[in-house]
Amino acid sequence: MRFVCSLLITGVLMSSPFSTAAAATLDPAVATPPVAARIAHPSEINGYKRADDYFWLRQKSDPAVTSYLQAETAYTAAVMKPTEALQQRLYDEMLSHIKQSDLQVPYKYGDYYYYSRTEEGKQYPILARKRGSLDAPEEITLDLNVLAQGKKFLGLGLYEVSDDGNLLAYSLDTTGYRQYTLHVKNLATGAGLGESIPRVDDAAWASDNKTLFYVTEDEVSKRNDTFWRHTLGAPSSDVLYTEKDELYDIGVHRSLDGKFIFLDAASKSTTESRYIQADRPADPLKVLIARQIDHRYHVEHHGDRWLILTNRGAEDYRVVSAPLRTPDEAHWSEIVPQRAGVHLTGLTVFDDYAVISERTGGFASLELLDFKTGKRSQVEFPEIVHTAFPSANREHSSTTFRYSYTSLVTPNSVFDLDLKTGKRTLLKQTEVPGYDASAYVSELKYATARDGTHVPIALVYKRGTMLDGSAPMLLYGYGSYGSSTDPTFAASRLVLLDRGVVYANAMIRGGGELGEAWRTSGHLMHKLNTFTDFIDCTEYLVGAHYTSKDRLAILGGSAGGLLMGAVTNMRPDLFKAVVAAVPFVDVMNTMLDPSLPLTTAEYLEWGNPNVKADYDYMMRYSPYDNVTAQAYPAMLVRVSINDSQVPYWEGSKLVAKIRALNTGHNPLLLEVNFGAGHGGASGRYDALKETAFNYAFILSEITPAAAR
């Protein structure tokens, strides 16, 4: 979900929410921060009286709110103006490490090879295919650059081709609010078929090439709650299922062999699957295994059996099979058992083989299963600090498994693995102009948390960087939802490493790096572990002389922005600079408001503050509620006006409150993107400029002028 300081005019409550004088053009030489009014908004919960003086910033349509946000952005531009030359250098350097006209590895589906490619100077990919052979003429299926004309934002959601290759179901978001509209295109003629269905988040074709199953979200809550069947050309669609429980979202996927369509319902702790045969789209849905609290499972099809990845009797999951007609637990046969230290995360099923995605020792791994012999074998990787994940695998009869491999020093590499022989073939490694991997060092270290837990930290730096405490560092963290922050290569990061910056990724509790227990020990009534782990990692890195407090910047976004806000309140002395992107920081007000998108489903991640025990615990870390009169480090808070995951007002309110109470004099900046959503800019060049802006802010705080 949350994928977040007011200038108090002494003794006066302003009659207008915003001082119009502050909206004037700011002179960089005499930049003055905008003044946000304090307007009382009292409430009471669990016997506590609450006051939110910046509640008014939620009124998106209020011109005073717009004026305030514009003034904050103008103030940020003024403060950052001396870095404009640095921003341009960073942008140019990042661009020099990118092959701007490039082709992704094609994958085969049906009679065609599908791929995407980029062209220099164009913001978006071009999606295309070739029939029968890569030497055949190109057919462009979607040119996102054409679709983006006249729009500030464009996001592609679905891209699903019918079995016969004639129809494309695709969806577009044109605001950044992650609200997609479904369209269907005739690929033979290039013409649209007239279908335009709003708020579609997921879809799958039936095998008759005319029936489309799709999932829509509720317009207000943004919860995926309704499953539809649509026949092309029909004036309406049929509702097959509505999920009533507010803790659950639904999604649809089709088995790799194409024979079954699954409707999956999931809360943060429980799942349930229904199914329908793809060649019998008029049939009713059937429940596969009825939901049972805390049972999470994922189903794939193989021959006359289901393959089920389940946590029943296995905290970190196991794989069982069951007959199609009797999938209940009494008929399970175990195929892959639970093993200590191994977390099973996914399943790719072919006719003769399965590939199990796993995590071992904090990092991704792959295990092969031969159905005929029952033999299992591990795929070996050359680096300890790495990640690997399935790529495009669309043909169930294949004996080749495609996966991607990358690390902090290895650009993304696409391999084909021969499932019979184990031979691997490198199809493509992303070309990074001007990059020499041998010039950089990747390491794995462990910090000891205050309760004795060993927390992994992945690091990368340029060979020759002095590790005597003088090096600047950028430390990244997330630590929520069981989501793993895998060590991947980023060409844009080279501009930091080449300036002597050490980059580190703290794999803190609340994430999924070390399995289910790692996740649960950092959520709900254990959430404080996430923040103290990050602080303990920071103190380890300083103590080990990788950096020093006055050279250390931290970065996190969304729930990672919550991390940034919490640790900055707890230990403002420990960081020189903080970048919080679309940060979930107004935890209590947001989680007390069930009318906001996504809130109720989040009770199982953060807690339900309507329950006093949960309220008391959440209040211990909620960043907005814990701002105090102290000296804060330099901070850049970035929000997006169309953000559906974390509303723009969360970060805006945090900045207003810190500015009112801050006893220090470091820069405090709010940057508002008025044309995007949770992920920021959608065009690749625009996104690169945002990164250059962030890095310029960071470098201006943690590196000497000569190193910028």
Instruction: Give catalytic residues, as residue numbers.
Output: 558, 643, 678
473-491 b/e (C-beta count within 10 Å ≥ 16 → b): bbbbbbbbbbbbbbbbbbb
Distances (CA, A) of 521 to 263, 266, 364, 506, 510: 30, 21, 20, 16, 6
Alpha carbon distance 261, 300 (integer Å): 10
Q: Cβ neighbours of residue 429 under 8 Å, at least 6 residues apart?
A: 410, 411, 412, 413, 414
Q: Cβ neighbours of residue 312 under 8 Å, at least 6 residues apart?
A: 295, 297, 329
Angle at 448 between CA 445 and CA 449, to 5 degrees: 130
Q: Which residue(s) pair with 143 in the sheet? A: 126
Phi, psi of 556 (to 5 degrees): -165, 155
- Using a 10 angstrom Cβ sphere, with 0-12 exposed, 13-18 middle and 19 or more buried, the burial of residue 137 is exposed
Rounded to the nearest 10 degrees, the angle between the axes of helix 84-96 and helix 684-702 is: 120
Kindly state the tokens that stand for 377: 């074998």
Alpha carbon distance 265, 297 (integer Å): 10
Alpha carbon distance 403, 392 (integer Å): 8
Helix (H, G, I), strand (E, B) or coil at 324: coil
Helix (H, G, I), strand (E, B) or coil at 5: coil
Helix (H, G, I), strand (E, B) or coil at 402: strand
Distances (CA, A) of 136 to 130, 132, 477: 6, 7, 46
Spell out the SS3 assignment of 430-452: CCCCCCCHHHEEEEEEEEECCCC
Q: How many CA atoms lie within 13 A of 456 on its CB side?
A: 21
Alpha carbon distance 101, 703 (integer Å): 33
Q: Report DSSP state, residue 707.
A: G
- Using a 10 angstrom Cβ sphere, with 0-12 exposed, 13-18 middle and 19 or more buried, the burial of residue 235 is exposed
Distances (CA, A) of 126 to 138, 172, 180, 458, 516: 11, 14, 19, 34, 39
* Chain centre distance of CA 325: 37
Amino acid letter for position 692: A
* Positive/negative CA dihedral, 243, 249, 252, 253: negative
Alpha carbon distance 99, 379 (integer Å): 30
Q: Which residue(s) pair with 426 in the sheet? A: 415
